[in-house]
Amino acid sequence: MLRIAAQRLLQLITTVIIASSAVFLLIHLSGDPVAGFLPPGTSPAQQAATRHAVGLDRPIAIQYLTTVGDALTGRFADSWRAQRPALAVVLERLPATLILALSAVLVASVVGGLAGVAGARFYRSWLDRLLLFFEIGAMAVPAFWLGTLLILFFAVRLPVLPSSGNGGIRGLILPVLTLAAYPAAIIARLLRTELLAVRNQGYVRTAEGKGLSGWAVLLRHALPNALLPTLAYVGLQLSFLFGGAIIVESVFAYPGVGRLALQAATDRDIPVVQAFVVVVAVLISVANLAVDLIAIAIDPRLRASSRTFAHGR
């Protein structure tokens, strides 16, 4: 456990440094941040005063070191737009995005898991082919297009759900479905492939030879071993969910941190963008640590390996 925690801490520090460096580089390569922040026609004197107020008149090396130091310590500057601490601005919107992302992970895991198990159990049947058809479609459709279609169908043609994400639980349904479609399809394909791969293993044939039913063999013997690659993918997919949340929140006008980050990038609000990147990096590292711990709890081989390393053997 301590080894995993130390590895994740080192990865987190490295990720924060790389991410903050990338944000700093991209923002400065795209032009003068003040030029995108101030309205057109601003006098040179006002531009110089603003540049001095936000620290952009300092040497570029000092600005970079300050950016990385703020990212590592969490002491971000005030938002240029809101005139409040950037971290507080991000944390205000974070709960809404966490609800959206966690709901999408739950829906994707349940739907993808059921589809994967059903596809493996009824391999090459009409149900398996139908599920594969929907999975390929879900992987091929972009999130912004799927979200727009769902709005047109469920909010315009059949006005049963709100088109915006501000409508409470009902307003959360369409954004969650849009965000969960792609990972659910991947989970279903991955779990189906893993289940089909382990069905010829010796322990599975032994279980079948004992007279157990097909469902019992699949769920009690094959599924636990097929879950580990799927769990690894779910942990990896959390990072993509935050990226997809930016698009989904924009389509549904959802008041989350992804929409805030997009607006901050448009406004060149560097402190908010930096705070967003660091907060997301921390959340992804914590989520990956949780996935590793779940995998250790499921697989006794991983538990034995962890104990062996801890005792120095």
Each residue of 6-32: pLDDT tens digit? 776 787 788 888 888 888 888 777 766
**With bands split at pLDDT 50, 70 and 90, how would you rate the model's confidence at 290?**
confident
Q: What is the pLDDT of residues 247-278, one digit of tens each?
A: 888 888 888 888 888 888 877 788 888 888 88
State residue 176's pLDDT score.
Answer: 92
Report the b/e string of 209-225 with b at 16+ CB within 10 A: eeeeeeeebbeebbbeb
Please name which of 112, 177, 186, 168 lies closest in space to residue 150, comparing C-alpha atoms. Answer: 177
Once rounded to an integer, what is the mean pLDDT over residues 43-60?
78
3-state SS assignment for residue 85: strand
State residue 233's pLDDT score.
Answer: 74
Alpha carbon distance 18, 68 (integer Å): 9
Say which DSSP state 124 is in: T
Listed ranges 129-138, 165-174, 194-203, 214-223; the one with the highest mean pLDDT: 129-138
Given a cut of 80, whether residue 123 has pLDDT beyond it is: yes
**With bands split at pLDDT 50, 70 and 90, how would you rate the model's confidence at 305?**
low
CB 150 within 8 A of CB 238: no
Amino acid symbol at 17: I
List the structure tokens of 66.
Answer: 């300050």
Query: In sequence order, which residues have a C-beta less than 8 Å from that of residue 91 and are 6 or more positions away?
Result: 279
CB 150 within 8 A of CB 178: yes
CB 266 within 8 A of CB 33: no
**With bands split at pLDDT 50, 70 and 90, how would you rate the model's confidence at 111?**
very high
Please name which of 59, 33, 48 lies closest in space to residue 269, comparing C-alpha atoms. Answer: 33
Residue, of 201 and 198, whose pLDDT is higher:
198
| pTM flag (> 0.85) | no
3-state SS assignment for residue 272: helix
Given a cut of 70, whether residue 42 has pLDDT beyond it is: yes
State residue 5's pLDDT score.
Answer: 65
State residue 133's pLDDT score.
Answer: 92
State residue 178's pLDDT score.
Answer: 92
Lowest mean pLDDT among 93-102, 161-170, 247-256, 259-268: 161-170
**With bands split at pLDDT 50, 70 and 90, how would you rate the model's confidence at 36?**
low
Given a cut of 60, whether residue 89 has pLDDT beyond it is: yes
Alpha carbon distance 59, 296 (integer Å): 48
Once rounded to an integer, what is the mean pLDDT over residues 197-222?
68
Torsion of CA 3, 191, 258, 146, to 10 degrees: 170
What integer best gives the mean pLDDT of the chain? 80
Q: Which domains does the chain have, with CATH numbers?
A: 2-73 (no CATH), 90-310 (1.10.3720.10)
Alpha carbon distance 215, 221 (integer Å): 10
Given a cut of 80, whether residue 114 has pLDDT beyond it is: yes
Say which DSSP state 78 is in: B
